[in-house]
């Protein structure tokens, strides 16, 4: 099986530190701009969780902001903060309530805190192979694309309409292409501009009327899910997220840090990443916040946009905290103006981006396993079942390899060393 591929934004053999040139002003400008490099993933999922699943807007943005600042100070590198992708995709797709998401966040938080404190995270690495991780990402991508299509095809989003209700799909696809082009051109902050434009479109051409906007933070409340909700969240959300987080959030992010930053990146260990994930989710989840993780793709996005230090993520974190405190209370009212097709376009981009990560697998066998996980998850509508089938496939392939190796070893004849005959010395 392949090792988990680490995306590279820099030429082979050149770390981010060596490529960073210019003076202090240029470095600061790069860091501040690079801090917004992963907004194309965080912003769409955060908004969807607020509007579809009714998470607390202040808890969502403040939680992500505080973790961004903490990781920037702790690691001193642009380590990303992202929503738990499997949890978010499933929750958005089925319209799960805030209590179920909170239960999943608490379970994931407790688990990763235990993995960090016991030091056994690295021992689980062989179980969640690259094929399994990419298969889960494929399943997440399919689920997000399906959700995006459902949002795009909702009728009566605007006061106008095209024949066959095509205004939603056309707008959604156009937004996805715009965000993809911006990512390719390494232009930061485009999702935020799309969000602003979408809100303006909703005000001008939507059905909602502008009313008073509440400023300040949205009130927080502590809520613990019931035992039944915990049990459902364990199998529906936590199990598929576990495989994805172990492979991508811990192992791949740690490897990518060393790849980009050399010795500076060695402080970003799987154990330290698991510790920050665990503590953050245990604190934020019961407050109605967004379950969070790290990710190699997010690190690549920050680096490609110019981030070179923890200043990047800390700056972005301060912006998110400010947003949460100033307009958190009014976020549900404001986001009600956002046309579903605009949110669908952002989710469509995230979904396609995740699904195409399967292309990083180098082995045909790994690709086949990942496709099986994605297909089973899509057919059953349950990523946990897809992961289970994928793990069975991986175990069967490993057993087959061992049996084949054993058969080859036992079938090979053992050649004895030829006897060494004494050579008589010639007689005088």
* Residue 3 pLDDT: 45
pLDDT digits (tens, 9 = 90+) for 308-364: 899 989 999 999 999 999 988 888 878 878 888 888 888 898 889 888 889 888 899
Higher-pLDDT residue of 190, 82? 82
Check whether 2 has a pLDDT greater than 50.
Answer: no
Q: Is residue 70 in a domain?
A: yes
d(CA 372, CA 391): 10
Report how many domains make up the chain: 1
Mean pLDDT of the chain: 83
User: For residue 428, is it within any domain?
Assistant: no
Is 60 exceeded by the pLDDT of residue 11? no
* Interval 255-294: pLDDT, tens: 889 888 999 999 998 889 999 999 999 999 999 999 999 9
Domain contains 406: no
Domain of 98, in residue numbers: 16-360
Let me know if residue 415 belongs to a domain. Answer: no
DSSP per residue, 165-181: GTHHHHHHHHHHHHHHH
Cα distances (angstroms) measured from residue 426 to each of 10, 16, 341, 418, 419: 72, 74, 100, 24, 21
- Is 410 part of any domain? no
Q: Does 382 map to a domain?
A: no
Contacts of 102 (CB under 8 A, 6+ apart): 223, 224, 225, 285, 286, 288
Give the pLDDT confidence of 62-107 residue by residue, as tens digits: 999 999 999 999 999 999 999 998 899 999 988 889 999 999 999 9
Query: How do residues 203-223 score in pLDDT, each as one tens digit?
Result: 787 656 666 677 899 999 888
Lowest mean pLDDT among 1-5, 22-26, 293-297: 1-5
150 sits in which H/E element: helix 130-152
Confirm whether 373 is domain-assigned.
no
pTM above 0.75, yes or no: yes
* 377 vs 414, residue with greater confidence: 377
393 found inside a domain: no
């Amino acid at each position: 099986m392949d090792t988990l591929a680490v995306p590279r934004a820099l030429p082979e053999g050149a770390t981010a530190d060596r490529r960073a040139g210019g003076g202090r002003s240029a470095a600061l400008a790069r860091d501040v701009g690079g801090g917004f490099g992963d907004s194309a993933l965080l912003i769409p999922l955060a908004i969807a969780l607020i509007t579809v699943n009714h998470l607390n807007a202040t808890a969502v943005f403040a939680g992500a902001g505080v973790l961004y600042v903490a990781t920037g100070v702790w690691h001193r590198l642009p380590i990303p903060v992202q929503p738990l992708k499997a949890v978010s995709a499933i929750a958005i797709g089925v319209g799960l309530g805030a209590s179920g998401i909170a239960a999943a966040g608490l379970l994931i938080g407790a688990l990763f805190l235990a993995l960090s404190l016991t030091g056994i995270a690295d021992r689980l690495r062989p179980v969640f192979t690259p094929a399994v991780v990419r298969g889960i990402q494929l399943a997440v991508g399919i689920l997000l694309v399906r959700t995006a299509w459902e949002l795009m095809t909702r009728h009566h989003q605007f006061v106008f309409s095209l024949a066959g209700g095509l205004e939603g799909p056309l707008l959604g696809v156009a937004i996805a292409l715009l965000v993809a082009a911006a990512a390719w051109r390494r232009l930061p902050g485009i999702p935020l501009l799309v969000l602003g434009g979408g809100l303006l479109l909703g005000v001008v051409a939507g059905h909602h009327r502008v009313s008073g906007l509440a400023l300040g933070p949205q009130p927080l409340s502590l809520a613990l899910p019931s035992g039944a909700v915990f049990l459902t969240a364990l199998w529906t959300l936590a199990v598929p997220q576990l495989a994805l987080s172990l492979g991508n959030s811990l192992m791949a992010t740690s490897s990518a840090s060393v790849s980009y930053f050399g010795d500076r990146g060695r402080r970003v260990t799987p154990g330290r990443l698991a510790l920050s994930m665990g503590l953050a989710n245990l604190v934020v989840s019961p407050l109605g916040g967004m379950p969070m993780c790290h990710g190699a793709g997010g690190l690549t996005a920050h680096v490609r946009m110019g981030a070179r230090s923890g200043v990047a993520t800390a700056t972005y974190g301060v912006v998110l905290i400010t947003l949460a405190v100033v307009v958190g209370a009014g976020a549900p009212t404001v986001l009600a103006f956002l046309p579903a097709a605009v949110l669908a376009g952002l989710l469509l981009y995230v979904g396609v981006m995740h699904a195409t990560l399967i292309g990083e697998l180098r082995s045909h066998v790994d690709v086949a396993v990942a496709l099986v996980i994605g297909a089973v998850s899509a057919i059953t509508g349950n990523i946990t079942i897809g992961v289970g089938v994928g793990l069975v496939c991986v175990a069967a392939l490993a057993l087959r390899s061992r049996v084949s190796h054993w058969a080859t070893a036992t079938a090979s004849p053992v050649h004895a060393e030829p006897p060494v005959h004494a050579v008589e010395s010639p007689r005088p």
